[in-house]
Each structure stands twice: as C-alpha cells, then as structure tokens.
Amino acid sequence: MKVMIRFFTLLFLLTTAINAQTARLQVIHNSADPAAASVDIYLNGEILLNNFGFRTATPFIDAPAGQVINIGVAPGTSTSAADTLKNFQLTLQPGQKYVAVANGVLNPSSFAANPDGRSTAFTLFIKTMAQEAAADPTKVEFFVVHGSSDAPSVDVVARRVATLVDNAAYGDITGYIPVPAANYLLDVTPGNDNNTIVATFEADLTGLTGGAAAVFASGFLNPAENQSGQAFGIFAALPNGDVVAFSPKTTSRLQVIHNAADPAAASVDIYLNGDILLNNFGFRTATGFIDAPANQIINIGVAGSTSASAADTLKNFSLKLLPGDTYVAIANGVLNPSAFAVNPDNRNTAFTLFIKTLAREQGESSSNVDFAVVHGSTDAPAVDVIARGVATLVQGAAYSDITEYISVPASDYTLDLTPAGVPSTVVASFSAPLSTLGGGAAIVFASGFFTPSANQNGQAFGLYAALPDGTVLTLNPVTSIKEVGGINAPSNYELGQNYPNPFNPSTSIRFALPAKSFVSLKVFNVIGQEVATLVNDELNAGAYSYNFDAKGLTSGIYFYKLTAGNFTETRKMNLLK
C-alpha cells in the first residue's frame, strides 16, 4: 500500500505538471473469477496497481481529469501493458469523485448465467458523485453495488428499520443511503419476497459517524457452479482503502427455561432436531444462551427424564428462528390440564413453549438492570407487579403474558404482587436484590401453583430470575403468599416437602391453611435444637410459601415443624454444601 501511495503521489506530480485538472478516484476489485484473483492495473500504459487482490480497494487518490484515460487489467503475472486482458476508456470530470468497481468474469460461458439476463462479462461499474465523508456529519452514508454475478434481484432490509435496497439486479448501484451509526442486521431477500431470507449479515457501523462507504455484494451464491469461486458475502470499502467484511449470521441465540410445574415434568429431556440437547433438565432451571440453527424449521422435543431417544418425546414444537436474533423459550403449563385447577382468566394451561423474542444477554445501560416478566403460574389470576415506593412495573399480566423489557437502576427492591387493578391488596411480596446486576439482564418468571393442593401437590408459587449464564435466582418472599379472589381456600391443612431438597443454602417450605389459624413454623437440627423460626403469627386461610436460608449452618439433616390449630406435622430436609 505504501508503494502504491508513493506511486500515486509521483503520478499526481507528473500529471499536474502537464494538466492541472484532477478528479478523485477509488478502485475496488470485486471480480470473483478465480482467474482474476490477483490482477495488475495499468493507467495509460503504466503500472498503477501490482497484484491487486480480490476484495481489496485503493484509497481515494488524485487521477487525471478532462482527458481520456485508459485503464488496463492484466493477470497478476503481467510484465507490461501488452499483457492486459481488458481495457477501459474513461473521462473523469475535474473536481468530481468516482468509485470504479472491477466486476464480472473473464469468460461468461464458463460460469452460471445471471438469473435476470444481465451481462456478467468483466467490466468496470462506475459510481459517480462519490463521497469521502458523509454529507450529514451525524450519519453514516453508503451506496450499495450488486456485484454477485449469479444472484437474482434482491432487496436489502435493515431488520426492523427499513428496506435499504429495493429490487436491485446485478450491476445496479444505489444512491447514497444515510443511516444512524448503529449495529444493523441486514437481511438479503428476493426482490419480490421479503419473507424469504437468503442470507443475513451483521453491519456494525457504530464507529463510522460522519463517514462514507461503498457496500458491495460479492462472490457467488453457488460456488460449485462457478469454478468453485469465493462464496457470497457483503463487504464495505472505506475511503482510506480499508475493506470490512460484514459478518454472516447463520445462527440465533437461545436460552431455555423449565417452568412447567406439573410434577410429571419435574425433570425432562430436551431434544433438538432429534438429538439430545438437555438431559434431566430440572424444574426452575435454565440453560445459558447457546447458538441454535436459524433460518430453518427446527424441532424441539420434550420427553420424560428416562427417555432413550427422540422417539420418546411427549410434546414437539416447531420453530423458525431469525439469524442473529436472540430468544428465550420457557417450557410451561401442564401435560393434562383436566387434572389441574383451571386458569381464573380461562387461559389455556396445556404444556407449551412461551417464546420471548428480542431477548437480551446484557442490559442497555451499565447502571441499569433490564428484565422481562413472564406470568407462568397456571392457577394464578392476572396481577400487577409494583416496585414498592417506586412504580408499577407490570399491569394486568395474565397467565402466559410476557412483558417488554423493563429497565431499572441496579438497586434492591421489594416487589408487591396485587390483583390486576387493585393496588391496595397485596397478594405477596418478594425481595429483588438487583444492586449487583448493573449492566445485566434477566427473565423474571412467576412459577408454581397458588394452591398446590388443587394441583397434584405441585410446587408452590414463587418468583425467580434466570440470568443469561443460566443461573436461576430465587426472589425470596418477604410476606406470605395469600389467596387471591377467585381461588378457593385449601380444604385441608397441609405441609409440603421443601424444594429444592437437598438444598444449598436456601429452600422454600410451603403449607396450606383451610381456616384462619395461629401458625408456628420452626426448623430444628438432628438433636432437637431450634435453629430458626419462620412463622409465629396468626394467618388467614390460604396457601403460603416461606424461604429458609441456611447459609450459617453446617451440612446435615434438619427438620421443619408446622403447628396450626390442632394440626401438627414434621418433615425432614437435607442441607448439602
């Protein structure tokens, strides 16, 4: 490059001595013919570029203007202008700027024909009125060249922004397109069908504010039919000669959360396109984000934890994920809805996948936490979620609803759940310690049953947060979970088995009261010493869940005892550190 620049400097001095008129010119090599992988460029019989490689570019330079100039293209092994394969005569206008794109193939009969009948012979595509900087200093401005000889007419769509290129055929050059300097996903689609994505590329323009570029489609859609030439891609030539490849996107990002409270689905196997993806995937656990196949139909199969193959799946779901997008799939519901309490809002509670699109692996601000909320409790009615003393975060969310992302300062909050539209009635409250999650993201999901006794004694209601790395945090209840209007009080006293068990360091203990009672819930060690009192109060009829934190205790067997009215029951749990 330094030799080339010195040459252009010398050329400029020689030409200006004769003719003071110049134009600005950039040359891009975009001929995908393997025989032209490296070429020599001659200007008026003198060597201009030696061994000029495919998908490289010169910077803008001063070139003779106001006269006919001859640009000759020769093999990279040429010894003089006599070896040129193609010659082009140009007249550049003084003071104007141009981009010349070398394109096409040397022998079109040896390559696939263009689907639109365009000539694919080796030539120069000329962009007039070129720019070395954006006219709007707050934007990035670029033009697009369709330079893939075997590709049909296409649109280029900046996903969820706008169609940038409409029905461009081979050889077409757009005008300059101004866009904010941001990160874009560019979908290449057939010119008459924006629903069919041929290819997707990530165009990171965040550092190019005030800049300009030549964006060019390059290579072959079908290399096997084109002498095994380079495959299709999209590239950008900057005014200084740098060429940047836009990254192709063939996968999406996917996180899976198990939130199906049906005891029969406490642990499941997950299959992806027939192959095991997750073995013994437990309730209230999550994967980290993984790469998943995109732009094709994929099958997600859910089987029992003892499955031997995908033939054992209980449910199958077909999905098509967009390349470069990020998703969270939440397994939710029950396998046989008729065997469980109906949803108060008449929502379907059959086992399914809730899909959160446009999911986030990190927050958009380093000082905030971004989270979406999923109502995943089948027997719970619509609720509001209020950050106590701050704001209402969620309004009227019924089972299966997923909110947009909510961004809050990284701090510690108390979240009050109330019946939808009744903020004065707090159903349950949870501690949400978010102070250490600045810059992070999460999926907060309501989980379990408000009335376990009416739902095969499944796990009790709680709030949980799945982080992008797969960590699931329990949002500890700071008040008991009370019955909500529309759900009947339990018919019997009940003390449930703690979950999880074994546990480290915290676990949830649930119980049910058929009538208002004075309640005592205590924890003892193996020699009968009391180590914690979780409840010592009069409570109304309802289903309750309390968190027991054993971080200051040693591993071993512990007992928890519930006394309510004339009812007493003791259960065993195992702390395993």
Separation between Cα atoms, residue 81 and residue 88, nearest integer Å: 13
Q: Tokens in use for 197?
A: 């994505």
Q: Which residue has the higher pLDDT, 309 or 489?
A: 309
From the list 196, 161, 207, 188, the residue with the least C-alpha distance to 249 is 188
Class of domain 251-354: mainly beta
The amino acid present at 248, given as its one-letter code, is: P
Angle at 373 between CA 323 and CA 377, to 5 degrees: 115
Dihedral angle over CA of 88, 91, 96, 97, nearest 10 = 0
Distance, in Å, from the CA atom of 453 to the CA atom of 459, rounded to the nearest integer, reads 10
Question: Token pair 């205590």 is at which residue?
Answer: 522
What gap in Å lies between CA 108 and CA 517, rounded to an integer? 89
Q: With contact defined as beta carbons under 8 Å apart, do 207 and 183 qualify?
A: no
C-beta of residue 384 within 8 angstroms of C-beta of residue 424:
no
Reduce the DSSP state of residue 407 to 3 states and report it.
Answer: strand
Closest CA to 84 of 49, 56, 58, 53: 49
Q: ω into residue 502 within 30 of 0, thus cis? A: yes
Token pair listed for 528 = 């009968």
Q: Using 50, 70 and 90 to split pLDDT, how confident is the model at 8?
A: very low
Residues 6+ apart with CB under 8 A from 8: 61, 62
Q: Pick the residue with more confidence: 492 or 353? A: 353
What's phi and psi for 303, nearest 5 deg?
A: -130, 165
Spell out the domain ranges in the chain: 1-247, 251-354, 489-577
Contacts of 338 (CB under 8 A, 6+ apart): none
* Each residue's pLDDT tens digit, 377-417: 999 999 999 998 889 999 999 999 999 999 999 999 989 89
- What CATH number belongs to 489-577? 2.60.40.1930
Distance (Å, whole) CA 84 – CA 76: 10
pLDDT tens-place string over residues 97-123 = 999 999 999 999 999 999 999 999 999
User: What six digits make up the tokens of 102?
Assistant: 């070398």
8-state DSSP, 193: -
Cα-based torsion angle of the residue sequence 387, 391, 393, 395 in order, rounded to the nearest 10 degrees: 110
- Percent of the chain scored above 70 by pLDDT? 94
Encoded tokens for 11: 């050329």
Mean pLDDT of the chain: 91
Average pLDDT over every residue of 228-255 = 97
pLDDT at 17 over 60: no
Q: Using pLDDT thresholds of 50, 70 and 90, give the confidence band for residue 20.
A: low
Q: Looking at the predicted structure, is the pLDDT value of residue 12 above 50? A: no
For residue 552, give the DSSP letter. T
Structure tokens at 292: 């998943």
The percent of residues above 90 in pLDDT, for the chain, comes to 80
Distances 51 to 29, 59, 106, 272, 525 between C-alpha atoms, Å: 11, 16, 17, 48, 81
Token readout for 123 is 């030539």
pLDDT at 30: 98
The helix/strand/coil state of 472 is strand
Q: Is the pLDDT of residue 442 over 60?
A: yes
Taking residue 399's Cβ as centre, other Cβ atoms within 10 Å add up to 25
CATH topology agreement for domains 251-354 and 489-577: yes
Residues sharing a CB contact under 8 Å with residue 13, sequence separation 6 or more, in sequence order: none
Structure tokens at 98: 């141009």
- pLDDT confidence bin for 486, thresholds 50/70/90: very low
Structure tokens that stand for 358 in this block: 């446009």
DSSP 8-state assignment for residue 104: S
Question: What are the pLDDT digits (tens) for 509-525?
Answer: 888 888 889 999 999 99
pLDDT band, very low/low/confident/very high, at 485 (cuts 50, 70, 90): very low
* pLDDT tens, residue by residue, 195-238: 999 999 999 999 999 999 999 999 999 999 999 999 999 999 99
